[in-house]
Amino acid sequence: MTGYNLAAGQVSFSPDGKRLAVANTDGTPAVWDLATQTKVLTLTDYQLTANAIAYSPDGALLATGGDEGIVKVWDAATVRNGSPSTMAA
């Protein structure tokens, strides 16, 4: 993708194939729109590195995990930069 200059730690395609969620090597998860090849979201609610990411099978949720030892579950439809809309342990 144009403008992407980090190594990806882990990636997850949305079930509809329109977005790519990436756990970047800098520790900040991000979501990219594949049609426009632009970053549409950066998940910034991390004190430490986030290095795992996955969409739920229906695409409604996006889970991230990392060095904090916490799995965060985000509502993929309403998530905005900052805190997760939905959290689960």
Task: Give tens-digit pLDDT for 59-73.
Answer: 988 898 888 788 888
How far from each other are the two terminal CA atoms of the chain, in whole angstroms? 33
* Between 42 and 57, the higher pLDDT residue: 57
Of 34, 35, 36, 28, the C-alpha closest to 8 is 28
Instruction: Name the band, by pLDDT with cuts 50, 70 and 90, for residue 49.
Output: confident
CB atoms within 10 A of CB 75: 14
Ranked by mean pLDDT, the top range of 11-15, 24-28, 29-33, 50-54 is 11-15
